[in-house]
Every structure is written in structure tokens, then in C-alpha cells.
Structure 1
């Protein structure tokens, strides 16, 4: 029997979000209903509200979440009622060409729940990233649930569902930071901060934080940065080179996703170094680079989608590292809020006042 719960909905582009009743159906084959315990407020949710992802309004926002499985549908064998899970938006299919080649983190056919959640008047909702977790309960594909140690606070565990995993994965999985490497991270919000933590976890010798906000740079040092550059007071490429013997960093991660920051990352790397783009650009952005520079500098230019993660592999590992006090996930939680405070959290995010606001249920 379907259930009515409260959720945060964006009805039209740019309009303030509202808390309203939504209908969650019973799970069908391959699906699960999850009672949400915590959900982070991510820039992607704001992009949905602003129409920057698509125009399939109304949206049920929220996707960076942890909770407890309430019920499962037919054919679900690896989840049970009461399991503590982190939700992910990459339920791999196991049969596409990427999965068959042993690269499931590139799965070309990830899937979501088949049934729609709706407003109380029957209007279908588009759940953010196929999750929709600014709600007391949500319906997802069973493969979107990753079981982790239930001893971890949900407001910490849920962060792995998007931004923190994207940043850590950009350093470890995409950038393949190794012991003794020098790393620069441009943009020290939630994703950039996580990239810094990931680089230190991987054994980087120097991690250079670049931002225009001194408060974010101070937080970057807490997360493992060894040097910091305020781009309002110093030209980033020259400053990064000055801190790396004139050579540039082995890996430069652009966690902003703008043409100017990508160009800085491109020229701030050492010869044969790696550039990783993990910041999300908007569709209108264009980049111009001399092709001869792309050729002559060698190395690699990579984009990192969700940190090239495999949730079933990476989430439990990162939770274990947190429990061993080797990964400061709690440092990303700037505040905990109620369901009705999401719009205010968006404003704080715009002004750079928080790494993560987290809705607690």
C-alpha cells in the first residue's frame, strides 16, 4: 500500500522550494523503500531547482542520503528490512559493454526505480539523480542501496552519496594520486575539500589548496592541505609553480568547473602531469586551448564523473577509514537542519558559508 510522506519539491524553475505531501508506492520488483535519516544539501539540487539539469519539473530534490531499508520488492535478495544504507545514483547494470569489460564504474546503463513517486494529486515527480531524498521516505532501485557499517552517524555516511565521494574519487580513482605526488586543488568547497582529503589519504607529499575565500582555505588545511593560495591575491598558475620548484603539480584537480579554472589547472600541472575536471560546468560554457599545448605538454586530461566510484567497493572502504580516524568525514558537516530549511541552506551555499548543510529526519 502506498504511503504519503513529506518531501521538498521544486515546482518550477527558480521558484523557492516547498515542503509538501508526496506519495511513495510500495516497492515493485527490484525496488526498495528507504526511510531517510539524513540527506546533504548539494549544489546539484540547486542546479535542478534552477533548471540547469533539465526541465522535467516538478522535482523531488535530495540525493546525498543515508537511511534504513523499510521494505523490498520481489527479486531483491541482497537487501533486507533494517539494513543501513547509503544511497547512490549509479546502480550498475552488470551487462553493458563497460560492465562486461570489468569497468562497472563506467556503466552505460545505470538504472533507477521504475515506478514514479507523485504529488498527492497524482502528478509524477522527477527525483533528483533518480533518488529524491529530501523526503521522509523514498523509492529507489535496490542497486542504489549500498550497505555500510550502521555504527556511522547517518549525517556523515550520507555524504558519500555524492559530493565527498566525487572529490575523494577524483583524487584516488581518476587522478590516481600516488605516494610522493604533488597535488593542487582549485576550488575548496565540499568536492574540492574532499579531493584534498583524498590526495592526503593516497600519500601525496604536497597538497596545494586554491580558492578566493580565506575561510575555505583554512578548512582546506584542516582536511590535509599543506599550502594555500588565495587566487584574489596571487595568480594561481605562477603560485602553484612557485611551490613546486617551478615545474607545476603532478595532479591538478579543477573542482570549480569553469573555463578559466580549467585553463589554470591545465597550465599549472607539470609536464606529463594529469588534469582532472570534477567541477560541473554548465551547458553554455566553452573552452579554447592551443592544440599544440595539449600535444606538447603530454600527460592526461580527464573528467571525473562521481569520482569514477563503484559504490559497493568504495563506500564501505571509506566508512572503515572514517571509523579508523583516517578520514575526517565529520569535518564536512557544517550544520544540521530540518526539512523546512533547505531553501535557506541553498542561500548559505551560494554565499560560500558552508561545506555541507545536512537535513536530519
Structure 2
């Protein structure tokens, strides 16, 4: 018996195999090349913002944190505390999957400028997570700002009610809203059409489980919408309250952002409240893990691992650049110098030292 082909529906999870958009992939090497090119121009508002992080005051117990204590302006010297594991690790590269209409692909328009336009934002968002952000997904459209806002509200509605089972009354509401937006965008000849945007975005959410998805419109001026898939993935207002808007006009206001980076936390972020648990996936849990990247010990989940606040002697040599002395530490031991990271054993602390020493300094906390 022939297998039934999947069909598109606004209220049923689609698959990426159904999309007609063209996918272009930029690997880690492309990301590294773009970052190196960006670092060559250190006179823009974004690099000024990064330099201002050196003087920013922090609370040691902050869920999110961005630190640059030593060295030149390089990715390996700027550290971010991840929201999923609590580790303090340097900024990293990633693989970008860009979905666009076939007409863009046929014109052989490169996608690297798309990624370069929002490069600082992607650097920060990628480094907020240990897992789930090694791949970043961008859908290129030609939506205007108001249209993109309407599309965003539609996706919020769908994810809140129709990511799993959907009530008949809500299903009718979603279908009517889908038809309204489709017809409105069709009148303005937007590409790709809204059903393709909807199919691709929901398929990415359903199959890839990303931390966020970006809707990007390059014309008439670059504009993007970042759709987060959980509240904990949103950047902290205490860190990014003064992040640049991306607009070249010095007289612009907060409502004139070209790149919708949520500088005010959840107040301005677009969060898709996806149904979690059961068939829709596992619930999101925040962890506190050993700072050694290859360690799986989680201090706030394993009852056999006891968290302590004793002082470790393993990082007393961080100022002179020598390897930390061999001394016994208990599981969950804080680094005695910066008191920002924990380790489950002396061996993992020593393994992590070549990287951690780039940010480990004695800090006067508020």
C-alpha cells in the first residue's frame, strides 16, 4: 500500500521535506571568517559596546553574564555564562542555515551579507547556550515592519494553541487568521508567500527544537525579528539594556530598531510559548554544571553531589599564569579567585584552566 504523502495544514506540524524554500548553509569556517572581518573594523557602535563591558558591574549570582577581563578583542577572551548549564565559556562560532525564496537563489545573491548584518547579535545569542545553538536558522523574507509584527503575533497564537492538539474553535480561528495574512501579503507580492514562511518556520520548531529562529528582511532596510522558544532564552535586561539598536540614524528612538534585539528582556522579546512535555517535547530545565565542557555532572540535579561554598586553592596561581597547584577539592567547589564557576573534581579544574585563566580574576562584587 502506497504511503500517504504529508499535506500542509496551518494546525498540523509540517516537515522540512515539504518546504519549497532553498536552504543555504554557512559552516563554522564561514562564521569565523565573518567574525574576523568584523573585528577588522573596530570603530562601530557594537565594538564600543563590547569595550564598555569591561567596566560593567555584575552580581555574582546573575543567571546571565558577559565578561571580558583580559586580552585583546577576540572571541576566546570574551566569556558568557550559559543559561542552560551555568558554565562560563568564551564566545564561539556556529553553523547558519538560511532559508530563502528560489528567486533569490537563482539571482545568486550571497547569504553571507545576511549573517554579517546581524553578526554581533548572533554571536551573543549563540554563546548564551551550551547546546541547541550550534545551528542557527534564518528565514529571509521581504516583509515590511508592520507585516512582520503581524506574522509574529500569528506564530505566537499558533505555538500557544496548535503545536500539539488544537480545539475546533481555536483551529477555525487560526485558519481564518492564516487566510487573512496570506491574502494581505499576496496583494503586495511578498516572497516567499506566507504559507511557505509558516511551513518552514513551524517545521524548524518541530524538527530542530532551536533556541530561537530569525525572520530577516533585507529591504528596503535590514530588519529582523528574533523569535525565542522559551522565556529563559531571552537576553537579560541587566546586561543588554544599552545594546545598540542597529539604526544608523543618531536621532532614532527605541522604536526605530532595525534588529529587534530584546534589550529590555522579556518586556520587548517575542517568545513562542510552545507546548512542552508529553509528545511536544521535554520541559526546559536550567542546570548548574561543572565548568569543564566535557563533563556531565550537574550539581542541582544529582543528589549525590553536594554543593558547598568552601574556598578552592586551585586557582590561586591565576595571576601569574601558572597551572593551578594539585590540591583536593570537594564536588561543586567554587573557583577561589573569581568565584564564578564550579568543578566536580580537581582533574576537571586543571583541564579547564588553559581556557578559564583568560577570564579568571579576583572581582569586587556589588
- TM-score between both structures, scaled by the size of structure 2: 0.26
- TM-score between both structures, scaled by the size of structure 1: 0.27
Larger Rg: 2
Higher strand proportion (structure 1 or 2): 1
